[in-house]
Structure 1
Amino acid sequence: QLEIGGYLVVDNLSMGRPSMGGIRMLPDITPADIHNLARGMTLKNAAANLPYGGGKSGIVAERTISHEEHDKVVRGFARLIRQYKDIYVPGPDVGTKDADMKLIAIENGLDSAVSKPADMGGNRIDELGAAAGGVVIALQTLLKILPRLRVLPQFANLEIPEENNLTVIIQGFGAVGAHASRILKERISEAKVIGISDLEGYLYNENGLPIEELFSLWKNLGLVTNTHFKDKIAPEGYKHPTKFSTNANNLLLENAFCMVPAAPIFNYLGVR
């Protein structure tokens, strides 16, 4: 029998009921994490003038559990939070997806979760990569306004690339990171994604990685770096221009103009 552990924080209901915020599913999630994320949802909903409070929840579970165990854990957690459905409605977050919201809706009712899949009357947010689209638009906007920042001493000598010379590394090639790489190439075809990481390691090639191939691999397998190494890099050995390491954190030692932090990892000064 699976043991289910998790946390729910409803931070504030001043803007209205219920509170909104996703469910994270990670092995090392803490109450402090959920508290901080719930406060973030309060501020985001208020900034957008939405009539919802801020909440967040987290399930403590290993990433290596089977799909069947994953579904059982989600259903079990849904039953645990059922009593709070009037003040908290979850959506997907790190480690969860639209299909999990469908399971919660089956357990607790159609109005008990947002971002349900299309076959339950929801949207295709996971399939389309909406969050990743926002990342790419933000990056394009940043490139446009950076020249104006040269009046500030810290930006005076900053070399700002043209879009067609843009180099990007993506920490966390998952639901946001993988889609960000795809959308970036669609919107700026000359831009280069030169580094990616996942739980198994990182890949780096200063001339650019085969994003279309890696995205397809991610859709089929979830994790890509080790498989790409075994299938494409290892047969050529040191002659292959792509670097692979099992230490995913070392991606941050590589060079690129832009880094996309798309993994639930605390970096320097708590950047996550």
Structure 2
Amino acid sequence: MAVFNQVEFDNHEQVVFCSDEASGLKAIIAVHNTKLGPAVGGCRLWNYASDEDAVYDVLRLSKGMTYKNAVARLPFGGGKSVIIGDAKTIKSEALFRAFGKHLDRLGGSYYSAEDVNITTGDVMVMHKETNYVMGLEGKSGNPSPFTALGTFLGIKAAYQHKYGHQDLAGIKVAVQGLGAVAYTLCKHLHEAGAELFVTDINEESVQRVVNDFNATAVGIDEIYDLDVDVYAPCALGATVNDDTIPRIKATIIAGCANNQLAESRHGEIIREKGILYAPDYVINAGGIINVYYETKPEGYDEAAATKHVEGIYDTLTEIFKRSEDEKVSTHIIADKLAQEIIENGL
């Protein structure tokens, strides 16, 4: 299996392969960069088609966390972890305790938290074996509402930049993926008067949003062809690609998924099409911002966390303006901003 010569490797400081026969644990922990502080990033449980796919995903996500934490101006480096398996069958206390033991062996170079198919309850089980976890129950708790808030504010910032106002009443939004973050995002959008078109592989999730927010359900593949104002990718990544870009009619792409661009070049393609893209690791940083506030010596402060999340609006406004001035894609500007912060410090 190739690791060092992958483009996504990008000088990772450490990549650890973890195994525990008794619990069935197979996991990978990637530490990308610790210049600003210990690496922090969630753990994803996913039934990858191959080990190579898992390596590719964890490396890409880990680098993204370095940039996300930097642009959010957090004293954290970037890391990520994945557990390989079917979330419906593999979850157990033994599995998460085994993973916690592997986390503990890293001695604090990486802190994990919840992510796709991992709950705060699962993180609490890891915590039985290690202190190197964040997003704990009774502290900052579930980060999803904060990620949703940041994404909602990011959509408003994009609309303000594109159209000179942030009134979302009557706009059409296509939301792809309806997990915990996307559900709350739909709630914000519905309350703002937006018309929702939604899809997910889980029919129960679709019906919940249809019932609660008067959304229109569409097919998994149909979501790209809708005549909407905003396309909000909120599932897994790489949905902005060679196949989908010609089909996307939205003038704004802004959602909470990670790694939305299949390749960097796709950011420039959509810019040339007149589509404004809110870089994923900027708009979806609300969760990690909230988690940071449980590390404060004075204790967790929800009001302070919320105020910091609200700053995502201003950060995106800066990125949109620089992109326009420099005539390059917003994701390139976001990368530049992250690199400047990593190089010069917070």
Same fold (TM over 0.5): yes
* Match for residue 8 of structure 1 among 29, 51, 67: 29
Give the TM-score of the pair, scaled to structure 2.
Answer: 0.56
Q: Distance in 2 between matches of 1:201 and 1:74?
A: 27
Aligned pair in 2 of structure 1 residues 102, 264: CA closer, same or farther (>3 Å)?
same
Q: Distance in 1 between matches of 2:84 and 2:42?
A: 14
* Match for residue 43 of structure 2 among 10, 13, 23: 23
**CA-based RMSD:** 2.9
- Structure number with greater Rg is 1
The alpha-carbon deviation at position 51 of structure 1 amounts to 2.5
1:177 matched residue in structure 2: 182
Give the TM-score of the pair, scaled to structure 1.
Answer: 0.70
C-alpha contact (below 8 Å) 1:23/1:96 kept by paired residues: yes
C-alpha contact (below 8 Å) 2:178/2:200 kept by paired residues: yes
Q: Distance in 1 between matches of 2:146 and 2:201?
A: 20
Aligned pair in 2 of structure 1 residues 258, 80: CA closer, same or farther (>3 Å)?
same
Pair 1:253-2:258 in alignment: no
List aligned pairs for 1:48-67, cutoff 5 A.
Answer: 48-65=72-89
The alpha-carbon deviation at position 180 of structure 1 amounts to 0.7
- Which ranges in structure 1 are unaligned for 5 or more consecutive residues? 149-159, 215-241
Pair 1:198-2:196 in alignment: no
Q: Distance in 2 between matches of 1:12 and 1:57?
A: 14
The alpha-carbon deviation at position 107 of structure 1 amounts to 1.7
Aligned-pair identity in percent equals: 21
Aligned pair in 2 of structure 1 residues 163, 45: CA closer, same or farther (>3 Å)?
closer
Aligned pair in 2 of structure 1 residues 82, 136: CA closer, same or farther (>3 Å)?
same
- Which ranges in structure 2 are unaligned for 5 or more consecutive residues? 1-21, 242-258, 262-346
Q: Distance in 1 between matches of 2:92 and 2:239?
A: 28
1:88 matched residue in structure 2: 110
Of the two structures, which has the highest relative contact order with CA contacts closer than 8 Å and spacing of 6 or more?
2
* Match for residue 138 of structure 1 among 142, 148, 154: 154
SS in 2 for 1:34: helix
Q: Distance in 2 between matches of 1:71 and 1:20?
A: 23
C-alpha contact (below 8 Å) 1:193/1:211 kept by paired residues: no
* Match for residue 169 of structure 2 among 155, 164, 177: 164
Q: Distance in 2 between matches of 1:210 and 1:61?
A: 32
Count residues with an aligned counterpart.
218
Q: Residue deviations 1:46-94, cap 9 Å, x none? A: 334433221111111113227xx34432222112222013201111111
Ranges of 4+ aligned residues in structure 1 off by more than 6 Å: none
Q: Which has the higher strand share?
A: 1
Q: Distance in 2 between matches of 1:169 and 1:103?
A: 36
